[in-house]
Amino acid sequence: MFKNTTMKMKNSILFIALVCIIWLGGCESEPKIVKGTVSDKTLLDIIQANGYTEFVKAVKLAGLEAQINAATKQTVFAPNNAAFNVLLKQLGLNKVDDINPTVLASVLRYHITTEDSYLAASLPRKAASLDGKSFYLTQNAASLNALGTIVLKDRSAKNGIFHGINLVLSSPTLSIYDAIAARAAGTPPQFTLLKYAIDRAGLDGVLKSGDFTLFAPTNAAFTTAGLGTTAALDGVAVDALKTILQYHVLPTARFSIELTTGRVATANGPLANNTKGIDINATTPAFEGGTISNADQLATNGVWHQISAVARPKVGIKEGITVPGVVLTTSGNDTAGPDALGPLVTASGYTRFDDINRASKDAVYFPRVPPTAGSFPNNQEIIKYLERHIFASTVNFTTATNGTKVTSVGGNEYYVVVDAAGGRFINGVAASRNAFGAASTTSYAAYDGVAYVWGTTGYTGLVPLPTNNIVQQLDGDAQFTLIAAAIKKVGREASLTSGNKTFFAVENAAFTTKTGLSSVSQINALAAGDALLQTITTLIDKHTVNSAEFALRLTSAIPILKNALDQDVTFAVVAGNVVVIDDKQRPDTKFTSFTTTDKFLAKNGVVHVVSKFFEF
């Protein structure tokens, strides 16, 4: 029994030893695996062994076997059998043998490059094929020409590397320009205006070579842009036409799957703080507002896509205000206001507009007649002035609702006031209406925001709200010391120093007439529980509205407001004056008049002055 056990142990040891020998000659260390080990077989042998039998058959039928075998380094992108089956179905043929050998040879050469033996990790962006044309590796080298997907990688042979793809590719025969020209000469003719524009701008030769992407506007796109005839195109200066067209050209081939949302450089020059870039929306997809369709039209010198609009590239805010001759508008609006602000930006060295890649865009409200640089004591004060007019892009005075409060990038606060006609004003200042009268007139859309000309003729700029609240404003005026003291005494100071409020204040004389109190000390001497305190509390609540309502709104819209007691504060016009009605049944005789509107602007609202306390 012991002998048998010993024999079994010897057999086990021998077995383990044999396994160790087989596994790379021993078990002393982990086996070393070398990636991309070159086979001693030819490339066609490897392709055949991987099941790409139709490709090998096609190579032999096309007479390319000797050429492939003779190459010392090459990369072959071999369509799989399924890809050939699709091709045969498209051609209406039964087998590869039925394809003309010359045609077959031309097709296959487009799948082979002898530039190098490329592993998948080192595939170039662009490679020259055996037929003299180029193909592109797109989306992290996952496909060719954004069509054929690489489904098998890195099969090495002694004379090259092969990758399997799922489509038989077609070699391009026309340049970008020639493709557009062929469409223009076709039936029905297409892109005739684009071809005419390219010819007139002298870009036909450029678009026959190189490596480009063209976003090609349709005839309808040119018509919409007001350039729907050759005569209209003749009316555009050649240099200007060339610039317009170059906005539609990217200086490298870029397929639709490679488009990313953001600003990209065009043939007008590299991205910088200038007018040369355009915006792409990869989700839509869209190119500077034009919808992309019929994408990925391959050419011998790149790719082109059809778009539905002639691009209207945006300028930067800084260019719009500092560069002479830059067109700021597409709607014909007066652009003197933005231009006038340029000297302040230049003189102060203000840099906020310099970085075109800022994540947050701006809404800038340029006054028509800003002060001169020399009127400021130093550059820092100029910058403070500039930042009073710059807001986050989400701020839109032209669509904001009445009473909206906004803050500039400089920390300055403003209220938007909307009158009965829909006109917008800032802090109730009549001259601060937007420059063109309409509720939403944009001077120009910039790639780093939107700029508006703001204010009527002579308007010099936005005036921020004070830093004091309503109570502080009342307390600081000798005519309102009693109402200010009363607000504090009855515990309404917190309410009137926060939120958005309108307060209808009475002067000291009117306060004394109603309460009999003529000094701050008398008010402060009132004991808790005194009936007069409750009366004063009620009066203050009657005069408090929980929204900011400026005179421009009150005198035009004549709104009915709710006070802090949820009572209606009703307005009317009597003898040309806006009044608060005390008795709706007798509005002509029972009212409280406005003696001063917008008496105080405050951090949290506005104060109007009435001649007596409300009696409703």
| pLDDT > 70? residue 415 | yes
The pLDDT of residue 139 is 76
User: For the residues 408-428, what does the mean pLDDT come to?
Assistant: 94
Highest mean pLDDT among 249-258, 271-280, 321-330: 249-258
How much of the chain, in percent, has pLDDT values that exceed 70? 87
| pLDDT > 70? residue 251 | yes
More confident residue, 336 or 527: 527
User: For the residues 219-239, what does the mean pLDDT come to?
Assistant: 93
Q: What is the dihedral of CA 174, 177, 179, 185, to 10 degrees?
A: -130
Structure tokens at 442: 């944009």
Q: Which DSSP symbol is given to 32?
A: P
User: For the residues 191-209, what does the mean pLDDT come to?
Assistant: 97
The pLDDT of residue 74 is 97
| pLDDT > 60? residue 129 | yes
Residue for token pair 């130093």: 378
| pLDDT > 60? residue 224 | yes
For residue range 489-519, list pLDDT tens digits in order.
999 999 999 999 999 999 999 999 999 999 9
Q: Which residues pair with 112 in a beta bridge?
A: 76
pLDDT band at 358 (very low <50, low <70, confident <90, very high): low
* Mean residue pLDDT across the chain: 87
| pLDDT > 90? residue 448 | no
Instruction: Name 258's Cβ contacts closer than 8 Å, sequence gap at least 6.
Output: 138, 139, 146
The pLDDT of residue 595 is 84
The pLDDT of residue 590 is 87
pLDDT band at 249 (very low <50, low <70, confident <90, very high): very high
pLDDT band at 38 (very low <50, low <70, confident <90, very high): low
Q: How far apart are CA 130 and CA 112, in angstroms?
A: 6
User: For the residues 144-150, what does the mean pLDDT come to?
Assistant: 94
User: What per-residue string of b and e applies to 150-173 under the rule 16 or more CB within 10 Å gives b?
Assistant: bbbeebbbebbbbbbbbbbbebbe
DSSP alpha helix (H) spans, 391-546: 470-475, 481-489, 508-515, 520-525, 531-542
Residue for token pair 């205000």: 321
pLDDT band at 447 (very low <50, low <70, confident <90, very high): confident
The pLDDT of residue 452 is 83
| pLDDT > 90? residue 313 | no
For residue range 201-213, list pLDDT tens digits in order.
999 999 999 999 9
pLDDT band at 435 (very low <50, low <70, confident <90, very high): low
pLDDT band at 573 (very low <50, low <70, confident <90, very high): confident
Rounded (to 5) percent helix, strand, coil in the chain: 35, 25, 45
For residue range 73-92, list pLDDT tens digits in order.
999 999 999 999 999 999 99
The pLDDT of residue 217 is 97
User: For the residues 189-206, what does the mean pLDDT come to?
Assistant: 97
| pLDDT > 60? residue 246 | yes
User: For the residues 320-332, what does the mean pLDDT come to?
Assistant: 54
| pLDDT > 60? residue 559 | yes
More confident residue, 11 or 49: 49
Q: How far apart are CA 533 and CA 489, in angstroms?
A: 8
Burial of 32 (0-12, 13-18, 19+ CB in 10 A): exposed
Contact, 310 vs 221, CB < 8 A? yes
| Geometric angle at alpha carbon 57, from 55 and 63, rounded to 5° | 100
| pLDDT > 60? residue 362 | yes
User: For the residues 291-308, what does the mean pLDDT come to?
Assistant: 96
CA within 13 Å, CB half, 456: 11
The pLDDT of residue 37 is 54
- What 3-state class would DSSP assign to 218? coil
Contact, 287 vs 249, CB < 8 A? no
Contact, 347 vs 373, CB < 8 A? yes
Strands of 286-287's sheet in order across: 249-250, 212-217, 302-307, 290-299, 286-287, 278-281, 262-264
The pLDDT of residue 397 is 87
User: For the residues 516-534, what does the mean pLDDT come to?
Assistant: 96
Q: Which residues pair with 426 in a beta bridge?
A: 416
The answer to which of 196-205, 402-411, 529-538, 585-594 has the lowest mean pLDDT is: 585-594
Contact, 264 vs 270, CB < 8 A? no
Highest mean pLDDT among 61-70, 269-278, 325-334: 61-70
pLDDT band at 33 (very low <50, low <70, confident <90, very high): very low
The pLDDT of residue 533 is 96
- What 3-state class would DSSP assign to 579? strand
User: For the residues 471-497, what does the mean pLDDT come to?
Assistant: 97
